[in-house]
Amino acid sequence: MTSVAEAPGGVLAEPEYRVEGRDKVTGAARFAADVAMPGMLHAAFVASPYPHARIVSVDVSAARALPGVRAVLTGADTKPQRFGRRLQDWPVLCSDRALFIGDRVAAVAADTLQIAAEAARLVEVEYEELPAILATDAALAEGAPVLHPDAGSYAFLGGTRSAPPHPNIQGHGVREHGDVEAGFRASFRVYEHTFAVPRTHQGYIEPRAALVWLDGETVRVVTTNKTPFSLRNHMSVSLGIPESRIVVDAGHIGGDFGGKGLSLDEFALYHLARATGRPVRAVTRYADDLQATNSRHAGTITLRTGVDRVGRILAHTSKVVFDGGAYAAGKPVATLMPGDAMLTLAGYRVPAARVEAMTVYTNHVPAGHARAPGQPQNAFAAESHIDLIARDLGIDPLELRERNVVRPGDVDVTGQPWHGTDGAELLARLRGSSRYAPSLAPEGRPNWWGWGVALGVRHVGRGKASLVLRTLPAGRVELRTGVSDQGGGAHTLFQRIVSAELGIGLDRVAVVRRTTDAVPNDPGVGGSRVTPVQGTAALDAARKLKARLAALGRSLEDAGELEVTGEAAQEAHEASMYAYVLAVTVDSETGQTKIEDATLVADVGTVINPVALRGQLEGGFAFGLGQAVMEELRVEDGRVVTANLGDYKLPTIADMPRLGIELMTERPGPGPFGAKSVGELANPAVGAAVANAVQDACGSRVMSLPITAEKIWALLPAKQSR
């Protein structure tokens, strides 16, 4: 491992300028929806208005007769094709049953978007409504309809799907270590709490868009998918086309936040392009993006923890039940659960634990991945649970955390020794840098003012990647990568790494993104991966070029044409920790909260992009704040009722309090020059920090997200006093 001291300091200390910044502010940056082709057609879809229905008949004759309509396809034209990131259970178009409101039954391609939309309205679908599963317990109840009776025939990428314990379960896991029963027997107190978390949307600004056409034998795809090589693979498996005949172009992406690894339109667009011989484009309306793509999982989380007299954790059990919606297609992990579904008491020393988690099929909008999958839900539950335990024991909540936080070598809830941040040091820094003034009694501080603490952990990204570095005339170099720009600053990161390692100015390093046919395989953006994995590949490329130049006895200025492939295989199980102290005031008449002050201490290792890193932490806080106090993709009778950005509320800059950030940079991570990951580091713990502060301020303990004024007000223990 490279230590921080060895890092070439000069360039990393340089101010950071975004490689793609000029193109974005001048409007030159091209997003998927900007791309048009001569003769291009526009697509529209016919969606089921019922959460569960048999499709009796589909009459497309009126739609086909409309002037300007070039193709109308139904499930009969695309069956049995299904797609998905791991389990391919989502039909390209439904042929026998529709499983949620918004499920696609037919697709239209027409000369204009207006004609396509009109034709979609003219498609007559006769449905027979079926009993719908609108809750996870209903899915597992005796006699519940089985939503995927043919699950055994679905493709499962990269392995074999282990048989779920119930046909309506998508994924299930149990993990146990230590003697759990003995731990509970030895406990001074055992606490059990149940928390509820809602569905939320990733909230990216740019809705999904895709353009597909046939170029001879080659299928060309322009997309907002952030994992173009994976999409190439998914399309190959679903559509039965060799990967060598599919080229995916995913350039600038207007925000992803975990949601854009799943593509929906590209598969039907391929069929429309083939049927018409023309390029076909679809741009998702935001209402459809909210109602019918893949939201963050709603769920119910029950935690049970035994502690000794001084509050040390002795044993823990948990049960996490996530509503997976109609399809599991959005989940890329083999467990078919959100990545950290089983991380229910993260960041603590846990000598014995039994953790159970599952995702369940329902007739709701499918759930997939979103920034730090599974963590905002589990962190809200765990950090609220820890706080409730502290308050009941009469121990200051920060102090209880100090007594239990993991230090390197401790066994955590996974049963594995912790490799990561020294939690005790992190909390000491938090105590020092925040104005935390512990007091379980409200005397001596303003009324309706409370402190909330919460911590969180996130693994440093793992995986393999490769990219190409080649020399250009005049001592310049060009790095070619398949990594899309989804806004995180990946290309700027690569430029700074190569520049630092080669000891040349930033202006001599160009970074270019290429389509899937022009660069080596890349895993895409996600899993906190870009800095530690693709960043390491960039460093490897720079080192190889240096070695090549040394072997040839040349300088970069007279290098000639050289090309090297940088590779990385980051398999180290490392994790970072962060923690918040929030000061919150509550309006005694309305329950409205205001965050007065916020402090974040985060273990980030070496900083490569100082501005982007800060942006990720601030953005992570804002993202977490939205889910803490306002965001909820509400569903009634199977329908998303917050189907526009007026009803689905996202935070804006006006909602942001002052956020003090203290970085821990001393302990190097496995990434380039000792870097770690920060993209998914800061968002999960915000909800619990707010909930804890609210209870401290006014006594209301909100057990579900979002923590709205209404919920707080309803729980106010004494509405007139204090």
Task: Give contact residues for another protein (rule: CB under 8 A).
Answer: 47, 49-50, 101, 120-121, 287, 291, 636-637, 639-644, 646-647
Residues 6+ apart with CB under 8 A from 344: 301, 303, 316, 318, 320, 355, 357, 378, 381, 382, 413
Query: Distance between CA 489 and CA 252 in Å, rounded?
Result: 11
According to DSSP H, which parts of 74-201 are helical? 75-78, 113-122, 136-140, 180-185
Helix, strand, coil distribution of the chain in percent, nearest 5? 30, 30, 45
**Comparison of 163 and 641: residue with beta carbon closer to another protein:** 641
CB of 646 to another protein, least distance (A): 5
Q: Which of 642, 625, 633 is nearest to 691 (CA)?
A: 625
**Comparison of 119 and 575: residue with beta carbon closer to another protein:** 119
CB of 281 to another protein, least distance (A): 20
CB of 360 to another protein, least distance (A): 24
CB of 363 to another protein, least distance (A): 14
Query: Distance between CA 374 and CA 348 in Å, rounded?
Result: 17
Query: Distance between CA 584 and CA 690 in Å, rounded?
Result: 7
CB of 641 to another protein, least distance (A): 5
Query: Distance between CA 322 and CA 674 in Å, rounded?
Result: 36
CB of 512 to another protein, least distance (A): 40
Query: Distance between CA 586 and CA 628 in Å, rounded?
Result: 15
Q: Which of 301, 200, 196 is nearest to 257 (CA)?
A: 200
Largest CA distance in the chain: 82
**Comparison of 74 and 642: residue with beta carbon closer to another protein:** 642
- Asked whether the beta carbons of 527 and 370 are under 8 A apart, the reply is no
CB of 634 to another protein, least distance (A): 8
CB of 107 to another protein, least distance (A): 15
Alpha carbon distances (Å) from 21 to 252, 290, 454: 11, 28, 34
**Comparison of 430 and 643: residue with beta carbon closer to another protein:** 643
Query: Distance between CA 54 and CA 465 in Å, rounded?
Result: 44
Angle at the Cα of 164 from the Cα atoms of 162 and 168, rounded to 5 degrees? 145
Q: Across the chain, how many H-helices and E-strands are there?
A: 18, 27
CB of 285 to another protein, least distance (A): 9
Alpha carbon distances (Å) from 521 to 205, 224, 262, 548, 566: 28, 18, 18, 23, 12
